[in-house]
Chain A
């Protein structure tokens, strides 16, 4: 069965500092991996995805994530955090051969302090 773990309920970082939001996953086959962001009172927005190829993927708003197959991780990173990055971040996984059903992690709330 597919599962996603986001071990941190909350991440606090100062503006201008690098940020990392952690995600590990479990699937029986090869995964598609995603990050979504949710701002207050809004739906989820797609940030980036890993499908195949280069393990480092870049997405919207300067975010990037690195797929690590041996550690089954897909951590979200940004070199320099902005206050406007404060939001709820969801990691998600889907098996390549598992149809379109996507499993979402519990979410990590990011607070960026000015």
Chain B
């Protein structure tokens, strides 16, 4: 299994500003994912971040709002841009390794509150 850390663990931000969330994995992984989770609710996939190529965004999420970087096989960032209170949520980084395992592993999450 992979050990995943996220920074920051939580933040309170003002509307109109941007926040970059970092995800670090203790081993090289092929696929990294970013999810959004409203407190006590299910997970919604924002995008899949693949090293060496553009991130793939799910319906309802766009690159201008949620730019993602994946500079190497152990690190990714998600930026939440021009934030509004509707962006208040928990953001989770997740990893998977095609061909070797099937399950995903999740970071502890970043709790974002936009005021």
**Contact between B42 and A105 (Cβ–Cβ < 8 Å)?**
yes
Q: How far is the CB of A7 from chain B (nearest CB, A)?
A: 14
Number of B interface residues at 8 Å Cβ cutoff, please give it.
21
Structural contact, A44 and B48, CB atoms closer than 8 A: no
Interface residues of A in 14-53 (CB under 8 A from B): 32, 34, 36, 42-46, 49, 51
Interface size range on A against B: 20 to 34
Interface string of B2-33 (1 = CB under 8 A from A): 00100000000000000000000000000100
Q: Which residues of A contact B41 (CB under 8 A)?
A: 106-107
A25 to chain B, nearest CB (A): 14
B4 proximity list for chain A (CB < 8 A) = 43
Q: Which B92-111 residues have a C-beta within 8 angstroms of A?
A: 92, 94, 96, 98, 102-109
Q: Residues of B contacting A106 with CB < 8 Å? A: 41-42
Is chain A's interface secondary structure helix, strand, loop, or mixed overall?
strand
Q: Is A74 an interface residue (CB 8 A)?
A: no
Let me know if A44 and B106 touch, CB within 8 A: yes
Contact B106 A43 (CB under 8 A): yes
Q: Is B62 an interface residue (CB 8 A)?
A: no
Q: How far is the CB of A75 from chain B (nearest CB, A)?
A: 18
Question: Contacts A100-B48, A100-B98 hold; do A43 and B42 have CB atoms under 8 A apart?
Answer: no
Nearest CB of chain A from residue B43's CB, rounded to whole Å:
5
Q: Would A32 and B102 count as touching, CB distance under 8 A?
A: yes
CA distance A104 to B107 in the complex (A): 16
Selected contact of A100 from candidates B1, B31, B107, B108, CB within 8 Å: B31
Q: Is the CB of A101 within 8 A of B45?
A: yes
- Report if A111 contacts B (CB, 8 A): no
Q: Could you write out 5 A-B pairs with CB less than 8 Å apart?
A: A43-B109, A44-B106, A46-B104, A49-B103, A106-B41
Residues of A within 8 A of B (CB): 32, 34, 36, 42-46, 49, 51, 88, 90, 94, 100-102, 104-107, 109
